[in-house]
A = this chain, B = another copy of it.
Amino acid sequence: MDHTFGEAEFAARTARIQAAMAREGLAALLLTAEHDVRYVTGYLTRFWESPTRPWFVVLPASGKPIAVIPTIGEALMRTTWVDDIRTWPSPRPDDDGVSLLADTLAAVCGPDGALGVPMGPECTLRMPLRDFEAVRARLAPRRVRDATALLQGVQMVKSPAEIGRIAAMCEAAGRAFDRVPEIAAEGVPLSTVFRRFQIALLEEGADWVPYVAGGAGADGYADVISPATEEPLAHGDLLMLDTGAMRAGYFCDFDRNFAVCSASAAMRSGYHLLHDAVEAGFAAARPGAAAADVFEAMLRVVARAGDAGSVGRLGHGLGMRLTEPPSLTAADTTALAPGMVITLEPGLQLAPGRMMVHEENIVIEPAGPRYLTRRAPAELPVLEGRP
């Protein structure tokens, strides 16, 4: 249950999707992924961590979504705005919802209505492929079409209520970052820093912490996705912590850098460059600009350092998922629109194979962008002594 979203929020989301379905001539959508199911129903649970059971939502061309779900989820789904809830006792490997789903889809699609399924970039069909093929065969000769662009187009533009939740999580994570000097210092293993940082996030208001990453090293970090090692922080290290923490179903995604005891000239100038790159991205992130424009604005700044690294993009959408469309890459021509929430995430190489990255979260408003994160300090913070 998204505790403080009223029915109007879900009715508005559903209406926007159904308007797009009408334009594309789709009679129904099949949703299987956590964020898609939650987007139209409000069904919020950590039980998706168990891969055993599939969960289905069928969105008709008009009216409320229909939930086709395992019995174990019925009580929770009854607390949402969904009225039509169809259940089966899962797991039942010989028919794990397949016939119930196929019957539902056949009735909603009618004899020749087309079914939309998200099957493109950044989408995973969260059900066994064999079962999907069985459902598809049962629906033939009805067409099954890709609904990726349709759904992502709607979901990229957040409602004020959604933006409020992302902002609240950004604020809580900002307070946790403020406490890094209490938890990280020379001699503390990186694994301990990660553990303490997660605790700080929970204490400051995260409901749970789906993502923490980071790195540390004398000339930057080797990558930004590795788990923590037992290596203690050393005098002169650059430390980066990055989190996607969640509150009321919405993520933040930003990082902060710290020098351990002492900051080298290379670190300080790299930090300034990344700070300037974020400013350039922010200035470019106006309604009507393309995602690629924001990418180019940041790239022009980090290119002054010679090598902008090879992470592949310099930011992305943010919301119910840690990363969402659009991508801030040279190829993404998505036009920014009011309500979009994106990260600005430039990076550069400090030394061969050693990088530095920086990340902030912003929302696009009619008059221009607004930071959801409290902007990182203009100078690289130095962690002094032992906490």
Contact = CB atoms under 8 A, between A and B. Distances in A.
A51 B122 CA distance: 6
A321 interface: yes
Given A3-B229, A313-B91, A323-B50, A209 B209 contact: yes
Interface in A192-211: 194-195, 198-199, 202-203, 207-211
Interface string A346-361: 0000000100000000
A317 B329 CA distance: 42
Contacts of A96: 121
A49 B244 contact: yes
A35 to B, nearest CB: 8
A259 to B, nearest CB: 22
A340 interface: no
Contact of A130 (B120, B194, B207): B120
A120 B128 contact: yes
A8 interface: no
Interface stretch (A19-27, A59-67, A72-80, A273-281): A72-80
Interface residues of A, number: 76
Interface stretch (A39-47, A174-182, A367-375): A39-47
Given A198-B202, A202-B198, A226-B45, A312 B51 contact: no
A223 B124 contact: no
Interface string A315-349: 01000011100010101000000000000000000
A223 B323 contact: no
A93 to B, nearest CB: 4
Interface string A183-225: 0000000010011001100110001111111000000001111
A345 to B, nearest CB: 12
B72 A1 contact: no
Given A50-B322, A312-B89, A207 B223 contact: no
A303 interface: no
Nearest to A197: B202
A70 interface: yes
A234 interface: no
Contact of A327 (B44, B91, B126, B194): B91
A311 B72 contact: yes
A46 B227 contact: yes
A121 B329 CA distance: 37
A90 interface: yes
A99 interface: no
Given A202-B198, A227-B44, A121 B93 contact: yes
Given A46-B212, A119-B130, A331 B227 contact: no
A323 B52 contact: yes
Contacts of A244: 49-50
A101 to B, nearest CB: 15
A52 to B, nearest CB: 5
Contacts of A310: 71, 89
B227 A49 contact: no
A11 interface: no
A43 to B, nearest CB: 10
8 contacts: A46-B212, A51-B123, A72-B223, A89-B310, A122-B128, A124-B124, A124-B128, A198-B202
Leading 7 A-B pairs by shortest Cβ distance: A119-B129, A47-B225, A75-B223, A50-B323, A49-B211, A93-B121, A119-B130
Given A51-B122, A125-B125, A199-B199, 10 more contacts: A45-B226, A46-B212, A51-B123, A51-B321, A76-B223, A96-B121, A121-B128, A124-B126, A207-B228, A208-B212
